[in-house]
């Protein structure tokens, strides 16, 4: 099955990322999914000026975070948790609880800096939730969590209660607490793990037990297999989504990852219309030399 409902979190500073997420959802899906956006007032106003073929439902709950970046919020005490950043990260649970209260339908949560390069992924019918393993070295997973908090799918809202309870004792924000939804940290018929072609972030290339060259060697180009996708494959299978800030100017692993992605897309763009459309979309929102 595929999710027809997306949820995401964005304050004003994340607006370009959010535009790319929405644009990529439109580009690859014949029917643009409904999107719940937990937002602040400036983002809500900006979204009213954006054309999107699907439905956008703004849930204005983030005004108290407007104007602050992560570093600032990590230094500020929170109202519910230790820091304001921890509070902010847990607003995704608040958003999902709100969405489920409106209609009991599965929801794919994506951080605003997710960009799709293919249609939304299929999820097994037996699954009640789907998680995205980091696939990084064990020492880092122990610190940051086995699963990435920026990409997951929930069908049974009871998992949200388990997750929120675990946040009270989490050692790394809401992300480490996600492990409570997967006792034993193993895939089952109810717990689906997204494969490596989904939610691929810089960390899988530069924070892995494998060298970055070895990780990059898994990538390839295959227009025939990706007639309805970007043309990029990993281990022979289409790349579905990436997790990155295309506006990044300071953090070198992200900059390098962006360049790696753009070079592959540009190599395809001359002979593969979907890749060309993707390049045009990214360049329209992020006309920066760092991604060319």
Asked if residue 152 and residue 66 are part of one domain, the reply reads yes
Cβ distance 233 to 225 under 8 Å? yes
Mean pLDDT within 152-172: 97
Instruction: Specify whether the CB–CB gap between 8 and 37 falls below 8 A.
Output: yes
pLDDT digits (tens, 9 = 90+) for 41-83: 999 999 999 999 999 999 999 999 999 999 999 999 999 999 9
Domain boundary among 177, 194, 211: 194
Same domain for 215 and 134: no
Express each pLDDT in 191-248 by its tens digit. 999 999 999 999 999 999 888 999 999 999 999 989 999 999 999 999 999 999 999 9
Is pLDDT at 287 greater than 90 in this prediction?
no
Tell me, yes or no, whether 161 and 171 share the same domain: yes
Please answer whether residues 227 and 183 qualify as being in contact, where contact means their C-beta atoms are separated by less than 8 angstroms.
no
Q: Which helix (H) or strand (E) holds 237?
A: strand 237-238
Backbone phi, psi, residue 108, to 5° = -100, 115
Q: How high is the pLDDT of residue 3?
A: 84
Tell me the two tokens of residue 184.
């034993």
Counting residues of the chain whose pLDDT is more than 70, the rounded percentage is 98
Angstrom CA distances, 269 to 142, 171, 276, stand at 40, 44, 4
Quote the pLDDT of residue 291: 53
pTM of the model: 0.96
55 shares a domain with 42: yes
pLDDT per position as a tens digit, 8-27: 999 999 999 999 999 999 99
Q: Is the pLDDT of residue 178 over 70?
A: yes
Instruction: Kindly state the average pLDDT of the residues 160-164.
Output: 98
CB-CB contact of 43 with 10 (8 Å): yes
Total number of domains constituting the chain: 2
On whether both 183 and 216 belong to a single domain, the answer is: no
For the sheet with 241-243, list strands across it.
114-116, 241-243, 200-201
Backbone φ and ψ for 65, nearest 5 degrees, come out as -105, -5
The C-alpha torsion from 252 through 254 and 260 to 264, rounded to 10°, is -150
What is the per-residue pLDDT across 90-149, written as a single tens digit (0 to 9) for each? 999 999 999 999 999 999 999 999 999 999 999 999 999 999 999 999 999 999 999 999
**One domain for residues 63 and 180:** yes
**Is the domain of 251 the same as that of 225?**
yes
Q: What is the pLDDT of residue 188?
A: 97
Last residue of a domain, one of 170, 194, 218: 194
| Residue 105 CA: distances (Å) to CA of 5, 153, 156, 220 | 8, 11, 9, 35
Domain span at residue 235 reads 196-292
Helix, strand, coil percent values for the chain (each to nearest 5): 45, 15, 40
Q: What is the mean pLDDT of residues 285-292?
A: 67
pLDDT band at 288 (very low <50, low <70, confident <90, very high): low
176 and 205 together in one domain: no
Q: Which of 163, 194, 225 is the last residue of a domain?
A: 194
């Amino acid at each position: 099955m595929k999710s027809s409902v997306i949820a995401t979190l964005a304050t004003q500073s994340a607006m370009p990322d959010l535009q790319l997420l929405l644009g990529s959802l439109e580009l690859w899906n014949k029917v643009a999914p409904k999107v719940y956006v937990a937002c602040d007032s400036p983002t809500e106003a900006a979204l009213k000026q954006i054309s999107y073929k699907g439905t956008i439902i703004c849930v204005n709950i983030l005004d108290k975070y407007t104007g602050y970046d992560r570093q600032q919020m990590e230094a500020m005490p929170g109202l519910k948790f230790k820091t304001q950043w921890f509070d902010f990260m847990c607003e995704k649970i608040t958003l999902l609880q709100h969405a489920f209260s409106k209609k009991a339908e599965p929801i794919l949560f994506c951080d605003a800096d997710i960009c799709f390069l293919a249609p939304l992924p299929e999820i097994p019918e037996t699954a009640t939730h789907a998680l995205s393993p980091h696939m990084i070295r064990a020492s880092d997973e122990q610190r940051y969590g086995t699963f990435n908090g920026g990409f997951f799918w929930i069908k049974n809202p009871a998992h949200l209660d388990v997750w929120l309870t675990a946040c009270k004792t989490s050692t790394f924000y809401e992300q480490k607490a996600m492990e409570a939804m997967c006792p034993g940290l193993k895939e089952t018929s109810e717990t689906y793990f997204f494969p490596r072609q989904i939610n691929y972030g810089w960390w899988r290339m530069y924070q892995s037990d494998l060298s970055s060259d070895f990780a990059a060697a898994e990538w390839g180009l295959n227009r025939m297999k990706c007639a309805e996708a970007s043309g990029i494959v990993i281990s022979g299978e289409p790349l579905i989504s990436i997790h990155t800030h295309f506006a990044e100017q300071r953090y070198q692993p992200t900059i390098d990852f962006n360049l790696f992605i753009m070079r592959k897309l540009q190599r395809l763009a001359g002979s593969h219309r979907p890749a060309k459309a993707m390049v045009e979309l990214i360049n329209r929102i992020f006309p920066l030399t760092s991604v060319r």
